[in-house]
C-alpha cells in the first residue's frame, strides 16, 4: 500500500468558481484521489480557500462586508459547492487559519536565516485619489507582453507572464478606476529566488515524467530574459498574514502583510495540520505527510493545477521549501508530480462573470446532477490543449455515454431479470465460451484503464471506462437472455447472473468518475463487497444465485433538444 498526498490548487475566495476552474484542478484531483483510495492506498487529499490579497479585499468591498466576514461566508459557499460535486477532500481549509499564519511566518524566518530574504527599496504605484499604494491586483492595465487590456499587476491571465504593477501600460486603480497615479518609493521583503536557480533547474530536469506543459512553462520562467528573478513576498495591504518573525514585527514592515502567493502554497501544509487539529490528532499525524525526517520520505506527492499556476508551484513554492531546509534541519516534502491543465473555454470564448457567459458551479448543480457534469468534464478534460464546452457536446456526453451505454445496460439487465426471475439473481447454468471471451476483453480494457489512471491520463481513462461499459452492452445484445429464456432457461440465468456481476464491476470502476451513480448501482445490489477487482474471473462470480436486487430508478435522464436550446440561450451572455 502506497501513501499518496494529493493537493488541488487553492480557489480564490472571491466568488463562485466556474466549470473551467473546477476541471482545472479540483475535479481531476478528486478523481485521482478516489481511484487511489479504491486501489487500497492511503491518501491525503487537501485543498483550501485562498483568502488573502487584493481579490478578497476588492470582493468584500463590493459586497459591503468586512473582509474577514466575507471570507468566512464564502468559505462556506465554496465548501458546500465542493460537497455538491462530491469532492472528497480529507480537509478543505482556509489560508487565513492560525496554522497558516504561524507556518508562513516560520518559513519566512527560516529563509531569512538562510540569507534568502532581502529588504529592497522599490518604486511602486500610488493612487492619489485612493490615498494608498496599489499592489498587484489593485492595479490593472495593458500587458506589455501580449497587449491584453485587463492584465493584473502581478500576472497577465492571458499570456501568464509574471508582472510588476509598474510594468503595465496605461495603468488604473482597480478600486476606483482612477488614472491619477504616481510612483513612490516603498520597502518590501524579497525572496532571493535567483540564488536557487541552479538547484531548481536540477530538480526540474530530474522530473522526466512530468507533462510537457508543466516543464515547458517552468523552463520558460527559468530561461526567458534574465532568467528567474527575485520576487517580492510582502504587500501594502491590511488583510493578510502580518510580517513577523515569531511574535515580533519585522523591522519596517508594520503596515505590510505577506504576499498571497507566498503564503497560499504554504497552506497545503497548514491545511494538513488543520486536518490533524480537527480530528484531535497531534503534530506527528500531519508531519508524517510533509517532513521527510518524520515519515514523509515514502510519500508520493501529486499536485493538480491550471497552467497559470505552474510557475509558482515549480519555482516559487519549491524555492521556499528548499530554502527553509538550508541547514538540513527541516526537510520538507517537495512535489513528485505536477499535473497541469490547459483552459476550458465556453462555446469558443472565455467564461465571463460580468457578462453572464458560461456556467458556474452553483448554476450547474441547479440544472443537472453532479455526475452529469463530472462525466462530461473528465471525458473532455483539457490535458493536451484547451477544451471547449458546448451544450451540444454536453448533450451528447450525457445521452450517448451515460444514458445509452451505462444507464441502458443497468436498466435492461435489472428489468429483464425481475420480469423473468423475480427480485433475486437467478441460479442455474454455467458460464461458457462467450463469457470467457468477454472476460478477456474486459481484462484488456481494465488494464488500459488502470494504466491511464496511474499515469494520470484522465481523458484516456474516461475513454477506457466507457469502453468497459460498451463491452457489457455488446455482450448483452449478443447473448440475448430474453431469447435464450424461451428455449434454455438455465442459459438465460447464467447470462443474467454474469450481467449482474458486470453491474457490480462497473459500479466499482466508475466510482472515481461517477460516485453518486456508483452508490445507486451498489444500492440496487444491496451493497455487496465493492473492493477493486483482482482476478476478473473471480470478481465476476461475486454475486451468486439467490442474491437480492432491486430495479433502480432511471440512472440518467436524457437531455432533450428543447432543453439544450433553452440552456444555450440562457448562458450565452450579454
- Extract the annotated binding site for ATP: 353
Smallest Cα–Cα separation from 171: which of 128, 147, 140? 140
> In the sheet that 337-341 helps form, which strands lie side by side, from edge to edge?
91-94, 42-49, 3-8, 299-306, 337-341
Beta strand ranges found along 350-457 (DSSP E): 387-389
End-to-end alpha carbon distance in the chain: 52
Is the Cβ–Cβ distance between 333 and 5 less than 8 Å? yes
Residues of the binding site for Zn(2+): 143, 146, 156, 159
Which triple of cell numbers denotes residue 478? 449478443
Smallest Cα–Cα separation from 135: which of 9, 250, 308, 260? 260
Which triple of cell numbers denotes residue 84? 455538491
Which triple of cell numbers denotes residue 144? 506589455
Integer Cα distance of 533 and 468 in angstroms: 13
b/e string for 469-497 if b means 16 or more Cβ within 10 A? Answer: bbbbbebbeebebeebbeeebebbbbbbb
Is the Cβ–Cβ distance between 17 and 25 less than 8 Å? no
Name, in order, each residue with C-beta under 8 angstroms of 10's C-beta and a sequence gap of 6 or more: 47, 48, 49, 50, 95, 264, 267
For 171-192, give the secondary structure using H, E and C.
EEECCCCCCCEEEEEEEEEEEC
543 to each of 394, 442, 500, 505, 546, how far by Cα in Å?
A: 34, 18, 7, 10, 9
Integer Cα distance of 357 and 352 in angstroms: 5
Name, in order, each residue with C-beta under 8 angstroms of 455's C-beta and a sequence gap of 6 or more: none
Residues of the binding site: 143, 146, 156, 159, 353
Which triple of cell numbers denotes residue 126? 500610488
Integer Cα distance of 327 and 324 in angstroms: 8
Specify the pairing of strand 231-232 against strand 181-191. Answer: antiparallel
Is the Cβ–Cβ distance between 491 and 429 less than 8 Å? yes
Helix (H) or strand (E) holding 126: strand 117-127
Amino acid at each position: 500500500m502506497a501513501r499518496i498526498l494529493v493537493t488541488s490548487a487553492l480557489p480564490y475566495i472571491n466568488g463562485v468558481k466556474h466549470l473551467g476552474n473546477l476541471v482545472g484542478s479540483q475535479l481531476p484531483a478528486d478523481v485521482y484521489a478516489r481511484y487511489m483510495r479504491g486501489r487500497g492506498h492511503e491518501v491525503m487529499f487537501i485543498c483550501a480557500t485562498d483568502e488573502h490579497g487584493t481579490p478578497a479585499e476588492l470582493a468584500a468591498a463590493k459586497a459591503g462586508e468586512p473582509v474577514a466576514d466575507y471570507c468566512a461566508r464564502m468559505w462556506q459557499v465554496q465548501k458546500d459547492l465542493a460537497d455538491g460535486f462530491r469532492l472528497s477532500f480529507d480537509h478543505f481549509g482556509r489560508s487565513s487559519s492560525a496554522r497558516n499564519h504561524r507556518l508562513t511566518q516560520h518559513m519566512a524566518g527560516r529563509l531569512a536565516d538562510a540569507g534568502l530574504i532581502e529588504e529592497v527599496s522599490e518604486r511602486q504605484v500610488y493612487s492619489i485619489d485612493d490615498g494608498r499604494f496599489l499592489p498587484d491586483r489593485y492595479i490593472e492595465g495593458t500587458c506589455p507582453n501580449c497587449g491584453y487590456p485587463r492584465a493584473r499587476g502581478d500576472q497577465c491571465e492571458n499570456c501568464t507572464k509574471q508582472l510588476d504593477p509598474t510594468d503595465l501600460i496605461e495603468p488604473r486603480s482597480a478600486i476606483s478606476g482612477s488614472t491619477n497615479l504616481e510612483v513612490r518609493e516603498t520597502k518590501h521583503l524579497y525572496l532571493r529566488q535567483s540564488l536557487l536557480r541552479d538547484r531548481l533547474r536540477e530538480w526540474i530536469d530530474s522530473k522526466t515524467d512530468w507533462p510537457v506543459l508543466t516543464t515547458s512553462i517552468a523552463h520558460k520562467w527559468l530561461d526567458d530574459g534574465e532568467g528567474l528573478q527575485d520576487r517580492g513576498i510582502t504587500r501594502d495591504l491590511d488583510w493578510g498574514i502580518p510580517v513577523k518573525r515569531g511574535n515580533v514585527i519585522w523591522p519596517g514592515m508594520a503596515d505590510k502583510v505577506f504576499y498571497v502567493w507566498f503564503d497560499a502554497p504554504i497552506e497545503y501544509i497548514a491545511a494538513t495540520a488543520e486536518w490533524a487539529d480537527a480530528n484531535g490528532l497531534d503534530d506527528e499525524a500531519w508531519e508524517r505527510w510533509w517532513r521527510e525526517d518524520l515519515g514523509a520520505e515514502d510519500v508520493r506527492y501529486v499536485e493538480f493545477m491550471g497552467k497559470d499556476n505552474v510557475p509558482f508551484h515549480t519555482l516559487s513554492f519549491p524555492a521556499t521549501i528548499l530554502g527553509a531546509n538550508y541547514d538540513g534541519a527541516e526537510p520538507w516534502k517537495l512535489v513528485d508530480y505536477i499535473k497541469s491543465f490547459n483552459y476550458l473555454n465556453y462555446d469558443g470564448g472565455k467564461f465571463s462573470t460580468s457578462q453572464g457567459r458560461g456556467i458556474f458551479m452553483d448554476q450547474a448543480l441547479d440544472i443537472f446532477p453532479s455526475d452529469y457534469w463530472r462525466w462530461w468534464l473528465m471525458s473532455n478534460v483539457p490535458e493536451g490543449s484547451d477544451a471547449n464546452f458546448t451544450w451540444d457536446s454536453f448533450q451528447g456526453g450525457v445521452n450517448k455515454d451515460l444514458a445509452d451505454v451505462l444507464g441502458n445496460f443497468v436498466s435492461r439487465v435489472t428489468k429483464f431479470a425481475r420480469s423473468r426471475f423475480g427480485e433475486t439473481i437467478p441460479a442455474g447454468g454455467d458460464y461458457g465460451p462467450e463469457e470467457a471471451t468477454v472476460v478477456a476483453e474486459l481484462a484488456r480494457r481494465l488494464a488500459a484503464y488502470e494504466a491511464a489512471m496511474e499515469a494520470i491520463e484522465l481523458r484516456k481513462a474516461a475513454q477506457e471506462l466507457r469502453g468497459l461499459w460498451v463491452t457489457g452492452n455488446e455482450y448483452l445484445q449478443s447473448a440475448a437472455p430474453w431469447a435464450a429464456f424461451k428455449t434454455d432457461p438455465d442459459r438465460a440465468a447464467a447470462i443474467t447472473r454474469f450481467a449482474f456481476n458486470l453491474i457490480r464491476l462497473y459500479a466499482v470502476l466508475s466510482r472515481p468518475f461517477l460516485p453518486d451513480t456508483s452508490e445507486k448501482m451498489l444500492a440496487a445490489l444491496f451493497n455487496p463487497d465493492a473492493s477493486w477487482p483482482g482476478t476478473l474471473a473471480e470478481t465476476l462470480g461475486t454475486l451468486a444465485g439467490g442474491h437480492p436486487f432491486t430495479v433502480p430508478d432511471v440512472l440518467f435522464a436524457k437531455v432533450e433538444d428543447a432543453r439544450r436550446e433553452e440552456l444555450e440561450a440562457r448562458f450565452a451572455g450579454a
